[in-house]
Amino acid sequence: MPKRTLQGVVVSDKTAKTVVVRVDRRFTHPIYKKTIRRSKNYHAHDENNEFKPGDMVWIEESKPISKLKRWVVIRGEHKKSA
Q: What is the pLDDT along the chain (82 residues), one digit of tens a residue?
A: 899 999 999 999 999 999 999 999 999 999 999 999 999 999 999 999 999 999 999 999 999 999 999 999 999 999 877 6
Do the Cβ atoms of 67 and 15 come closer than 8 Å? no
Length of the chain: 82
| Helix count and strand count (H, E) for the chain | 0, 5
| Dist. CA 78–CA 52, nearest whole Å | 8
pTM of the model: 0.90
Q: Going from the N-terminus, what domains does the chain have, and what CATH number goes with each?
A: 3-75 (2.40.50.140)
Number of Cβ within 10 Å of residue 22's Cβ equals 13
